[in-house]
Amino acid sequence: MIFASARAAAGHLFRPEFRSVLWKSLGLTLLLLIGAWFGLRAIFEALAWPFMDQMVASLPQWAGWVGLVAGILASIGLAIGLALLIAPVTAMIAGIFLDDVAELVEKEDYPSDMPGKPLPTVRSFVLSVKFFGVVIAGNIVALLLLLVPGINIMAFFMVNGYLLGREFFEFAAMRFHPEADAKALRTNNAGTVFLAGLVIAGFMAIPILNLLTPLFAAAMMVHLHKAVARRDATGRRA
């Protein structure tokens, strides 16, 4: 079920029907990440560079290489910070384009099913902002856990697998169910949703390809929700 949903989602990414949403999503993702890079750099320069300049100035002349090392470490820190921002940016972009993606997937792969209904604009915006904040908080925790031996990278996947799986599934489910029912459906299938979230987190960890995470995650969860809903309906009939 999970891998079938992932395979179907990957197959949608470069189809002609998706090109409009693809370019809009990709462009906005890049724009936000570039803005995040400059924002992180400005914050780092304001907080860290004065201290580093004083430290280097206080060293003997022969130890000037410390400044070079500090600059390299600062660049690595900025790169890590930007990598951790991919998940929150993905959350924000997904909130904007999920209904567009879901409509295309439903129309193409489930033409005989009743189409879902987009969330009201205000509610969709509120949920997107909430999702963005939760994912940022979760990735701050993941960043702190990166310092703990034996957990580090696993923490990134566990945190983002849970958060991305939960939120993307509920977004897809709320096109067909009231919010409370969508949450209950996710809770009843928590293991499946979490594993699907790990697949999304793995996709997000692939450089360059991770820029397409919003579309991949949205399409995958539309397929997964359909599969889960049909399985539950079959179980009730039995």
Q: Which of 178, 177, 198, 164 is nearest to 93 (CA)?
A: 164
Residue 125 to residue 123: CA distance in whole angstroms:
5
- Are 182 and 174 within 8 A, CB to CB? yes
Instruction: Kindly give the residue spans of alpha helices, DSSP state H, lying in the chain.
Output: 2-12, 19-47, 49-57, 65-109, 121-145, 152-173, 179-188, 190-204, 213-237
Which region among 76-90, 99-113, 139-153, 189-203 has the lowest average model confidence (pLDDT)? 76-90
Task: Quote the DSSP letter at residue 151.
Answer: T
Q: Where are the domains of the chain?
A: 2-30+86-233
Given a cut of 80, whether residue 224 has pLDDT beyond it is yes
Q: Which of 98, 119, 105, 104 is nearest to 178 (CA)?
A: 119
Angle between helices 190-204 and 65-109 (to 10 degrees): 130
Given a cut of 80, whether residue 151 has pLDDT beyond it is no
Residue 207 to residue 228: CA distance in whole angstroms:
30
Instruction: Grade residue 190 by pLDDT with cuts at 50, 70 and 90.
Output: very high
- In our burial notation (b when 16+ CB lie closer than 10 A, e otherwise), range 1-26 reads ebeebbebbbebeeeeebeebbeebe
Which region among 45-49, 117-121, 162-166, 201-205 has the lowest average model confidence (pLDDT)? 45-49
Q: Which of 129, 134, 135, 218 is nearest to 175 (CA)?
A: 218
pTM of the entire predicted model = 0.74
Given a cut of 50, whether residue 62 has pLDDT beyond it is no
Q: What's the confidence (pLDDT) of residue 54? A: 58
Higher pLDDT, 55 or 109: 109
Instruction: Grade residue 83 by pLDDT with cuts at 50, 70 and 90.
Output: low
